[in-house]
Amino acid sequence: MARAARLLDLLQLLRQHRFPVSGQALAAELGISLRTLYRDIATLQAQGAEISGEAGLGYVLKPGFVLPPLMFDQDELDALLLGLSWVAERTDPALQSAARQALAKINAVLPPERRPLPGQAVQLVGPVPLAPESNTLLAQLRQAIRRQQVLEIHYLDLQQIPSRRAIWPLAIGYFEQVRVLVAWCELRQGFRHFRTDRISYCAPSGARYVGTRAQLLQTWRTQEGITRSVATADIF
């Protein structure tokens, strides 16, 4: 294994542990000697990684450190490029722009031989007609979710019945043809799913909702019987 790849693997192992893990355990997991492990720990510390501990006591990594340059195996790279390409095609202008910038950053740090050539991507995102909605609505919803803001909306349901709601936005689900907002509805006193293309008006009420988004999402998942991982479930 190349040393750069081994250092990344060591970082990943340290990230998986909230409490100090022994050098012996880390060395065994990586298939290296303790002496090599100690040298690798020292190298990461010199690069700026905040690794606490010492030989005989165990090591723990303070969250937030990323070791440049980025290094991905081919499947990881394909997954990243496909996911970012999907976002660049199927979301609102703000996220599309962010996805394209992320793609440019990834291409900038890849070795030339790993860099995908224009028009030669392995995975392609097919065209799908999307339900129309305001270009600013999704960005507004994402901002309200991050800030835990109560929103006032005007909504037209599937029976074409209009209503005015005060909602607590929690997450946005991106489907092939529609986007769906998961929210607590004050009118119905329960969790509801709102198609974003049926929201004709949206504005912050000036209030924050009670509790935390994480707690409300967990309650919603339990009620819906969702058992997928947090990373997957958070998008819907």
Q: Pick the closest to residue 152 from 185, 106, 113, 116 (CA basis).
A: 185
- The domain tally of the chain equals 3
Helices (H), 110-159: 137-147
| Domain end among 105, 126, 147 | 126
Residue 81 and residue 97 share a domain? yes
pTM for the model: 0.61
Residue with tokens 């998008």: 235
Tokens of 73: 């195996």
Residue 79 and residue 55 share a domain? no
Within 103-218, strands assigned E span: 149-156, 162-174, 179-185, 190-195, 199-208
Phi first, then psi: what are they for 23, rounded to 5°? -60, -35
The CATH number of residue 41's host domain is 1.10.10.10
**236 residues of the chain, pLDDT tens digit each:** 567 778 888 888 888 887 889 989 999 999 999 999 999 999 888 877 888 886 677 899 887 655 555 566 778 888 888 888 888 888 888 888 899 888 887 776 666 766 666 555 666 677 777 777 777 898 899 999 999 999 999 999 989 999 999 999 999 998 888 899 999 999 999 999 999 999 999 999 999 998 889 999 999 999 988 765 443 333 33
Residue 41 included in any domain: yes
Q: Which helix (H) or strand (E) holds 27?
A: helix 23-30
Range of the domain at 122: 69-126
| Residues written for the chain | 236
Residue 100 and residue 41 share a domain? no
Distance of alpha carbon 108 from its chain centroid, rounded? 21
Residue 131 included in any domain: no
Residue 80 and residue 57 share a domain? no
